[in-house]
Structure 1
Amino acid sequence: MNKILVTTSRGLDELLKQEIQTLCPDANVKMMPGALSFEGSKPDAYKVCLWSRLANRVIWVLAEGKADSADALYETAMSVDWPMHMNSNHTLSVQFVGTNRAIKNTQFGAVRIKDAIVDLFVEQGMSRPSVERKSPDIPVYARLGRDKVTIGLDMAGASLHQRAYRQQTGDAPLKEHIACAMLLRSGWANNTDVPLVDLMCGSGTIAIEAAYIARNIAPGIKREYWGFNAWLGHEHAVWDELVTQAQSVQQPMNTKIYASDVSRKLIHVAKTNADIAGVFSDIQFSHQDAVKSSPPIATPGYVVTNPPYGERLGELTELIPLFSDWGKRLKVAWKGWNISLLSSNRDLLRVMKLRASKEYALNNGKLECKLVNYVLDEENTVQFGEDAENHEFANRLRKNLKRMKSWVKKANTNCYRIYDADLPDYNVAIDQYDDWLVVQEYAPPKTVSEEKSRKRLQEVLLYLPAVTGISPKNIALKVRAQQKGTKQYEKLRQSGEMKEVHENGIRFLVNLTDYLDTGLFLDHRNTRKIVMDMSSGKDVLNLFSYTGSVSVYAGLGGAKSVTTVDMSNTYLDWAKKNAALNKVKCPQAFIQADCTTWLSDHKGKYDLIFIDPPSFSNSKRMQNTWDVQRDHLTMLTHANSCLKEGGTIVFSNNKRGFKLDEAGIGALGLSAQNITGRTIPEDFARRGKIHQCWIISKQS
C-alpha cells in the first residue's frame, strides 16, 4: 500500500470523497482543502485515474519531508530513489504548488527538486535526465504545506478534467469535472432515467458528461497520455485489464439528453465534441434562445446549465433584462422541472425571482461560483408584478422624460441628461446620446451596503429599456467614484467606436464605451454657446481643451483664430476630427502641452481665453501636481499676461466647494462676474452647481 494524494477544485472535496469511497471501498479517506489522501494500491490509483469524474490529479506519493529551507526541500527530494522510477533517457517536469517563508516562489521550488533529481543521477554515475515541460515521461508533482512537502509521481500527467474529446470551446469553457459536479449536485446523476436539458450548452460539456454518466463510460477512456506510461513502476497488465473492464461495462442510453444554444457556431462545436466523445447519437442538439425556450419533452426533468456570469461590467446591461425575461419564461413554460444554474454572480440569478431550494459553493477555474438549485413547483412559478408602471425608479424616469420632452425639442440636441441621482436609493446619472444610454454609477456612501447598491443598480438596468425603449445592447455602464487628476480620462476598454451626436446644429464625435467620460461634457452645453457668442473676430485660446468642443464653437462663432491646447495627443486628434466634421475654416493651432506650465512661458496674445481645468492632477507628464483651489490664481495670472487689451477670460471648474480668489483677482486688475446660473442647462438643474463659471475681464 502507498499513500495516494488526489486533488480537485475547491468545493468538490466532499463529492470527491464519496466518489473515492465508491471506487475504493476500503479507502480511509482524509480530507484537506482542494485535496484528499488515502492508503491504496496501484490498481486503486489506476481506478481513480480512469474513473474519477471530479479529480484533477492523482499523485503516487514518493516522499514526505521537511521544506523549511531550500536545502531541506532539496534533501527531501534527494531521499527518493529516482533511478527506481525513471531512466536517464526519460524526460521529466516538476509541478510545484504552494509557498512558505523559505520557498517564496513556486518556480524556485520546482528548480530545487529538479536539481535534486538530476544530481542524484550524476552522483550514481548516470547521465542527467532532461527537462520537458509538455508531455514529459515522468511528471513530478510537489505540494508544499507550511514547512512540509509531499513529492510524488503525477499519474494523470495532465489534469483529469481533460477527457481528450473537447477539440474546440467557446469564450468561457466549463471544465469537465465542474460539469460533473453540477450534474451530481443537481440530483440528476442519481436519477438518470428522467430527461436532462442544457439550454446554454456552449461547447457541449454538460451534455457530453451527462451522456458519459448515463452510459457508464469511464471519463478517462479516451486519454492516451498518462503520467505513468513511462514509469518504471507501471504495471501494464493491471492497467490494460482495467481499461478492458471499463469498456465492457458501458451501456446503451436509457434517457433523453437535449442541448441547445443561441449560437449556431457553438452548436456546431458541441456536435463535433460529442462526435469525438462517441456520444453524438445520445444527445439531441438544437439552435434555440433560452429566453424563448419550451421543454423538448412532456415529462419534466432537469435543466442544468452554465449561463453567462457578467464578469465584465458592460455585460450586465444586456444580461439583467435577459435573466429577468428568462425567469418569467421558466415560470410559464417549465413548470414541474428542476433547474440548476452555475454563476459567479448570485445577484444576477436573483433577477429571475426564483426561490432557491439549495446552493453549493464551488470554483469554476479561479472564479468563486454558486450552483443554485430551483424546483419549479406551484409556489415557484408565481409571476411577480414587476412591470415598469409600479416601480419608483421607473416612475421617476418616466416623469423626467415627459417633463423634458418640449425642452429637448427646443434645445436642438440629441444628447442630454435624463436622470441624476433623483432618488437617493438609485444613485446613478443617466445620459442619453441619440439611441444610446450611458449609466454612471456613483460610488455609494458608506451607509449603503454593497449588496443593496448592487441590487439597486440591477433594477436600474432592468427598467431602463422598458421606459426609454432603448435596447439593452445600447446601454453603456460605468462606475464613477471620486477621481483625482486625469484618472477620469483613463481607458476602460479599447473598442475605438465613435458615434456622431449634435447640439445647437453642431456635430461631435463621442465614444460611449471606452472612457469614463464620453468626449463631450453635457453640462457645458450653455457655456459653449456663450463662448460662441463671444468669439466673433477674436483670437481664441482653449486650454485643457479635451476633445476641442469649445474650439469648434468658437470657430463656428466667427473667431479670427483658435488655439487648442491639451496634454493628450489622443484628445488633440479627437479635437481635429471634431473641427473637420464641422468644417471650421478659421486658422487653427493644436498644441500638445501641459497647460499648467505652457501658459507661464507663452508669449501669444488673445482676445478670449477659455479655461476649464481638472480639479486635481498628478499626471506623469506634468512637472508638478495641480490643484485648482491652490493654483487657479497663478494660472489666471499667466492668462492675464496673455490677454490683449480688453480681452476676456471664461473660467470654469467642477470642484465641489471651490472658492474663487476674488481678492487675488482684483489685485491683478481684473474683475470676475459669476455666470454659473446662465451656464447650467435645464437637464442639469436638478443637480445644482455641477460646475461654476466666471467671466473675468480687465477692470474699467
Structure 2
Amino acid sequence: METFFASCPRGLESVLVEDLIAAGAADLKQIPGGVHFLGEWPVCYFASLHSRIATRILWRVAHASYRKEDDIYHLALATPWPRWFFPEQTIRVDVNALKSPLKSIDFVTLRIKDAICDRFRRESGKRPMVDRREPEVRVQGFVSSDECTLYLDTSGAPLYQRGFRQKTVDAPLKENLAAGILRLSGWQPDVPLFDPMCGSGTFLAEAAQIALGIAPGARRDFAFQRLRHFDAVLWNQLVDAARSAEKPARNTGIFGSDISPVAVRATLANLDRADLLPVVTLSSGDLLAIDAPAPGGIMVSNPPYGERVSSDDELAAFYPLLGSALKRRFAGWNCYLLSADTRLPKLVRLTPSKRTPLFNGALECRLYEFRMVAGTNRATEQARVAKQHPEPMG
C-alpha cells in the first residue's frame, strides 16, 4: 500500500473523505486542509479522475526527523528519485513549513533540489533541469517542528482545473469549492438549481457535469502519467469507463443569471467550451427583480462582498434588498449564500438554519443556509400572534 495525501479547501475535508472512500482508499485521517490515506495506484488514479473536491493528490516518498538543513538534504539524497522519473524531465520543488525552527525555507527548498540533482548525477551522470512555470515533475516538501516529509505530486495542474474554463470574472470561485457547496446543499440533479449571481458560471458548470455524469478529470492530463511506473493500460480503462457512463447533453433544471453582461458572456463562453450549453438555462437579470425559475429548489450563490464591491456602504444597502427579494420571490427554496461578510445574516434580516465555515482560498467564509418557507413572513407572524392572543368569543 502506498501513502497519499489529498488536499482540499478547508471545511470540505469530510466531503473529500466520501470521494476517497468511493475510490477505495483505506486508513483515512482528516487534518485541516486535507486527508491522509492508503491505497494502491488504482485508488490514486480513480480519485484523480472522479473526485470533485480534491485540490491535489500527493504521493509520500520519504519521511524522517531532522535537526538541521543537512538532515533534510541527506533524506532527499537517500530517496530513489531515478526510480520514478528521468533526468531529462524538468522539476520544481516547493516546501511548506509549520512551526519549523529553520531560518530559511527557501534554503531548505534549494537543498532538496540539490539533493535530487546529486542523486541523479551519482546514478546516471545527468541531472534534471528546473522549470518553475511548467515542470514535468513537482516535488513537495513539508517541514514541521522536527520532521520532514517529501512527496511527489501526482496531479500537475490543480484538480479543480477541469480543462475547459477560459473566461473569469473578479474573485472567481474554485471549481472544487463550488462542487463541495453543491454537495453540502444536498442538491441532486432532479431538483431545480439556480445561481442568480453566476459570475463566470462555476456553480452552473459543476452542476451540469454532475447532471450528465461527467467525471471531472476525464478531459485533462495528470502528473502521474509522466512517472516511470505509470500504468497506461489501467488508466485508459478507467477513462473509457468514465466516458461511456456520460449522459447526452440535454436541458435540465439548472438555471443561471447575472446582472452583469460581462459575467453572462463569460458563463456562455465557459459552458460552450465544455459542451454544456444545452444543459443550462441562462439569462440576464437583477436578482432583486427576477422571479424564481421554478416553484421550489435550491439556490446557490457567491454574492458580492469585499473584493467584488467597492465599499461597505454598497453592501449595507444591497443586503436588505437581497433579503426582501428572497422572502418575496423564493418561497419554497433553500438558499445557500457563501460570504466572508459575517454581517450578512443580520443585514439580510434572515436567520440562517445552518452556518458552515469554509475557506475560499485564504479567505475565511461561511456558507449560510436560509430555508425560505412557503407563505410570507408576515402571515407567519400573524399566525404566531393570533395563537398567543386569541380573540374572545361571542
Q: 2:345·2:352 contact (CA, 8 Å) conserved in 1? A: no
Kindly state the Cα deviation for residue 364 of structure 1 after the two structures are TM-superposed.
Answer: 0.2
Distance 1:325 1:245 in 2: 48
Residue 692 (structure 1) aligns with: none
> Which runs of no fewer than 5 residues in structure 1 stay unpaired?
386-700
> SS at 1:346's partner residue?
coil
Q: 2:345·2:351 contact (CA, 8 Å) conserved in 1? A: no
Alignment of 1:376 with 2:372, yes or no, is yes
CA deviation map 1:329-348 (0-9, x unaligned): 11111111010000000203
Counterpart amino acid of residue 181 in structure 2? M
Shift of the 152–118 alpha-carbon distance from structure 1 to 2, 3 Å rule, reads: same
Alignment of 1:64 with 2:63, yes or no, is yes
Give the paired residue count: 380
Alignment of 1:271 with 2:268, yes or no, is yes
Shift of the 379–294 alpha-carbon distance from structure 1 to 2, 3 Å rule, reads: closer
Shift of the 196–287 alpha-carbon distance from structure 1 to 2, 3 Å rule, reads: same
Q: 1:88·1:126 contact (CA, 8 Å) conserved in 2? A: no
Kindly state the Cα deviation for residue 66 of structure 1 after the two structures are TM-superposed.
Answer: 2.0
Residue 302 (structure 2) aligns with: 306
Correspondence 1:36-51 to 2 at 5 A: 36-51=35-50
Distance 1:231 1:116 in 2: 19
Kindly state the Cα deviation for residue 383 of structure 1 after the two structures are TM-superposed.
Answer: 8.9
Kindly state the Cα deviation for residue 125 of structure 1 after the two structures are TM-superposed.
Answer: 4.3
Residue 94 (structure 2) aligns with: 95
Kindly state the Cα deviation for residue 313 of structure 1 after the two structures are TM-superposed.
Answer: 8.7
Distance 2:157 2:308 in 1: 30
Counterpart amino acid of residue 232 in structure 1? R
Which stretch of structure 1 is more off in the superposition, 333-342 or 75-84? 75-84
Kindly state the Cα deviation for residue 312 of structure 1 after the two structures are TM-superposed.
Answer: 8.1
Residue 361 (structure 2) aligns with: 365
Distance 1:46 1:107 in 2: 32
Correspondence 1:19-30 to 2 at 5 A: 19-24=19-24, 27-30=26-29
Residue 170 (structure 1) aligns with: 169
CA deviation map 1:474-514 (0-9, x unaligned): xxxxxxxxxxxxxxxxxxxxxxxxxxxxxxxxxxxxxxxxx
Distance 2:379 2:263 in 1: 32
Kindly state the Cα deviation for residue 128 of structure 1 after the two structures are TM-superposed.
Answer: 1.3
Counterpart amino acid of residue 32 in structure 2? P
Shift of the 251–312 alpha-carbon distance from structure 1 to 2, 3 Å rule, reads: closer
CA deviation map 1:229-258 (0-9, x unaligned): 221121111111111111011124574101
Kindly state the Cα deviation for residue 135 of structure 1 after the two structures are TM-superposed.
Answer: 2.2
Distance 2:375 2:285 in 1: 27
Alignment of 1:352 with 2:356, yes or no, is no
Shift of the 313–259 alpha-carbon distance from structure 1 to 2, 3 Å rule, reads: closer
Residue 666 (structure 1) aligns with: none
Residue 329 (structure 2) aligns with: 333
Distance 2:142 2:376 in 1: 46
Shift of the 4–101 alpha-carbon distance from structure 1 to 2, 3 Å rule, reads: closer
Kindly state the Cα deviation for residue 379 of structure 1 after the two structures are TM-superposed.
Answer: 7.7
Instruction: Return the match for 1:316 from 312, 315, 319.
Output: 312
Q: 2:100·2:144 contact (CA, 8 Å) conserved in 1? A: no
Counterpart amino acid of residue 62 in structure 2? A
Larger radius of gyration: 1
Q: 1:4·1:59 contact (CA, 8 Å) conserved in 2? A: yes
Residue 281 (structure 1) aligns with: 278
Distance 2:99 2:72 in 1: 12
CA deviation map 1:26-80 (0-9, x unaligned): 5221111112111101110011111111111101111111233211111211221
Residue 6 (structure 2) aligns with: 6
Residue 118 (structure 1) aligns with: 117
Q: 1:193·1:254 contact (CA, 8 Å) conserved in 2? A: no
CA deviation map 1:202-240 (0-9, x unaligned): 00000000111121111112213x212221121111111
Kindly state the Cα deviation for residue 283 of structure 1 after the two structures are TM-superposed.
Answer: 0.6
Residue 209 (structure 1) aligns with: 206
> SS at 1:244's partner residue?
helix
Correspondence 1:134-213 to 2 at 5 A: 134-188=133-187, 191-213=188-210
> SS at 1:96's partner residue?
strand
> SS at 1:72's partner residue?
helix
Distance 2:370 2:306 in 1: 21
Kindly state the Cα deviation for residue 350 of structure 1 after the two structures are TM-superposed.
Answer: 2.2
Residue 226 (structure 2) aligns with: 230
Kindly state the Cα deviation for residue 314 of structure 1 after the two structures are TM-superposed.
Answer: 4.7
Distance 1:111 1:95 in 2: 9
Counterpart amino acid of residue 260 in structure 1? S
CA deviation map 1:336-378 (0-9, x unaligned): 1010000000203421111211110010011000001111015
Distance 2:190 2:78 in 1: 52
> SS at 1:258's partner residue?
strand
Q: 1:99·1:106 contact (CA, 8 Å) conserved in 2? A: no
- TM-score, normalised to structure 1, is 0.52
Q: 1:66·1:76 contact (CA, 8 Å) conserved in 2? A: no
Correspondence 1:575-590 to 2 at 5 A: none
> Which runs of no fewer than 5 residues in structure 2 stay unpaired?
382-394
Shift of the 313–235 alpha-carbon distance from structure 1 to 2, 3 Å rule, reads: closer
